[in-house]
Structures are given as C-alpha cells and as structure tokens.
Amino acid sequence: MRIDVVSVFPDYLAGLKLSLLGRAQADGLVDLAVHDLRQWTHDRHRTVDDTPYGGGPGMVMKPEPWGEALDAVLERGSAAGLPSARLVVPTPAGRRFDQPTAQRLADEPWLVFACGRYEGIDQRVADHYAERLPVEEISIGDYVLSGGEVAVMAIIEAVARLLPGVVGNPESLVEESHAPGEWSGLVEYPVYTKPPVWRGLAVPDVLLSGHHANVAQWRREQARRRTAVHRPDLL
Ligand code: 6GU
C-alpha cells in the first residue's frame, strides 16, 4: 500500500517510522511518504492560513497550497503507475472512524491524507477533489484535537496492521476488541502472563487449568461483562 501524508508538521508523523509500521516499510509492505505543505507556498512567510469568510474565531487553511500539494502528490503517484487514490481528510466534523472503515481503507492501494490545522481546510478543497477521486472526511471520536496529525497516525496504524504480513501472527487479529467474526460486538477479555501471583493478585485459576473449553467459556463471559461495563452501547 502507498500512503502519502501532507501536513504543516511533518515531524509529527516521525513516529510512523517506528515499531510495527517501521518494519512494514522496511519489508516493502507499506510505502509511506510525508510532505510539508509549506513546500507549496510562494510568499516570504510561507502562509497556509487566513481569516474565515463570514467572521468568527480562528484561522482557516487556504485552498491554494492544498491544491498545489495534492495535485503534485497525485501526479507523482500516477506517474509511478499507482492506480487511483482515495483522499482522507481528518476532521472532527467527519464520519466516525471504526474497525470496518479501517478494513475498507486497508483494501485500497493508495491513500492520501490531508492534515488540517486551525479551524480546518477551506471546504472547496474537499469539494474540488471529490470531483476527481473518492474523498472521505473522517473523525476519530467525539473530542477535539488541534490538528489532524494525531488522528492520521491513529488511522494509519489501524489500517496498516490489517495489511497481509504486517502483524506477524494474523491469529492475533481475530480475538481482539472490535474484530469482526465470532467476537464482533465485544471488547477483548482481560489477559494475564507470568508470574502466577503478583503483589498478592493471582491469575484466575481457569487460565492455569489447561482446560481449553473452560478457558474459552471464561473469556467469553469476561468479554461480555467488560462490554456491559465499558461499552453498553455495543450490546
Ligand atoms: Cl480527525 N481531527 C481533529 N482535529 N480533531 C478530531 C478528529 C480529527 N477526530 C476527533 N477529533
């Protein structure tokens, strides 16, 4: 999968070079490029924002640098022979991101992320590109971040670990929270490792019993209990 990210804080995305995602890039499973939006400004102050039409607080990102940036990124990818891109615009006003959305994005060959800052990007940018390719405005939850960078990191991490070969043992994707299949609609059961007693707290006996059916039943009960307490909306 090819991923392009455009941001005024490209260094923010440096974390994507680490851990599982760093390995995925080294292995050639993910080809990730981060671009500085200010490359596509032409004034001395490298201006990317301006006051909102209609008044109100804050600043809005100007459309011209975004147009030049996205044209360049899309042109480069097409020239390299990539099939069509999907543009993702992170915004608290977007559609809520969830595991099915992560799976749907993981099935795409090429994702381009446009990270807004301030009060957001001039709406004409999303509207213009929607005439040229699929565009999705996505929110990662009901709270406000100062910019799209952290949201994009969350989305990319959720998407990349679904790509074949990125997670070493694909079975670990099966029983985790929000996974599709027999565990769908339940958050994950609690997990334990050695030692058997830590600070006076013992690992539940059933997990040491070696009785697989009882372990499976206990885990399902625990997943249901946790879901009822933490996420009654899922039941
Ligand atoms: Cl995608 N962006 C920003 N700035 N805030 C958010 C968000 C995105 N999702 C939730 N809050």
For 168-185, write each residue's pLDDT tens digit: 888 888 888 888 888 889
Given this model, what pLDDT does residue 53 score?
A: 98
- Expressed in angstroms and rounded, the spacing between residue 46 Cα and the centre of ligand 1 is 24
Sheet (strand 31-36) strand order: 31-36, 2-7, 110-114, 86-96, 135-139
HEC profile of the chain:
CEEEEEECCHHHHHHHHCHHHHHHHHCCCCEEEEEEHHHHCCCCCCCCEECCCCCCCCCEECHHHHHHHHHHHHHHHHHCCCCCCEEEEEEEEEEECCHHHHHHHHCCCEEEEECCECCCECHHHHHHHHCCCCEEEEECCCCCCCECHHHHHHHHHHHHCCCCCCCCCHHHHCCCCCCCHHHCCCCCCCCCCCCCEECCEECCHHHHCCCHHHHHHHHHHHHHHHHHHHCHHHC
Given this model, what pLDDT does residue 126 score?
A: 98
> Which of 140, 152, 155, 156 is the best mutation target for the ligand 1 pocket, counting ligand atoms within 8 Å of the beta carbon and taking the most?
140
Give the number of other Cβ atoms within 10 Å of residue 70's Cβ: 24
> Which of 59, 89, 119, 145 is the best mutation target for the ligand 1 pocket, counting ligand atoms within 8 Å of the beta carbon and taking the most?
145
Q: What is the C-alpha to C-alpha distance for residues 30 and 5, in angstroms, rounded to an integer?
A: 13
Q: Are 16 and 27 in contact (CB under 8 A)?
A: no
- Expressed in angstroms and rounded, the spacing between residue 191 Cα and the centre of ligand 1 is 31
Given this model, what pLDDT does residue 182 score?
A: 85
Given this model, what pLDDT does residue 171 score?
A: 87
Given this model, what pLDDT does residue 169 score?
A: 87
For 60-72, write each residue's pLDDT tens digit: 999 999 999 999 9
Closest CA to 138 of 103, 101, 97: 97
Given this model, what pLDDT does residue 156 score?
A: 98
User: Atom of ligand 1 at shortest distance to CA of 143?
Assistant: 11
Pairing of strands 201-202, 197-198: antiparallel
Given this model, what pLDDT does residue 174 score?
A: 83
Given this model, what pLDDT does residue 118 score?
A: 81
Enter the pTM of the model.
0.95
pLDDT along the chain (235 residues), means of 10: 98 92 95 98 98 97 98 97 96 97 98 94 98 98 96 97 92 86 92 98 98 98 98 95
Q: Are 218 and 181 in contact (CB under 8 A)?
A: no
Given this model, what pLDDT does residue 173 score?
A: 87
